[in-house]
Amino acid sequence: YLAKAQKATNARQFDKADSHLRQARFVLDAMKLRKWSQATYDALFSKYSETSRLLTAAR
């Protein structure tokens, strides 16, 4: 979902990017609840934050 959000942001398809980011956040929240390793979660959350910032800046 993060790759799709980044691709949609680059294509200036902001509604699609928002949708993919929401889906990515849902997955991240589920990972946290299921107690995935912190290293895996942190890496994905960093990518999520970066993609979110790119989307905000692109608007």
- Residue 47: pLDDT above 90? yes
Is 18 within 8 Å of 58 (Cβ atoms)?
A: no
**CA gap 16, 11 in Å, rounded:** 10
Instruction: Determine the average pLDDT of the residues in 28-41.
Output: 92
pLDDT bucket at 15, cuts 50 / 70 / 90: very high
- Residue 16: pLDDT above 90? yes
pLDDT of residue 59: 87
Between the two ends of the chain, the Cα-to-Cα distance in Å is 19
Mean pLDDT, the chain, rounded, equals: 94
In one-letter notation, the amino acid at residue 12 is R
**CA gap 2, 8 in Å, rounded:** 10
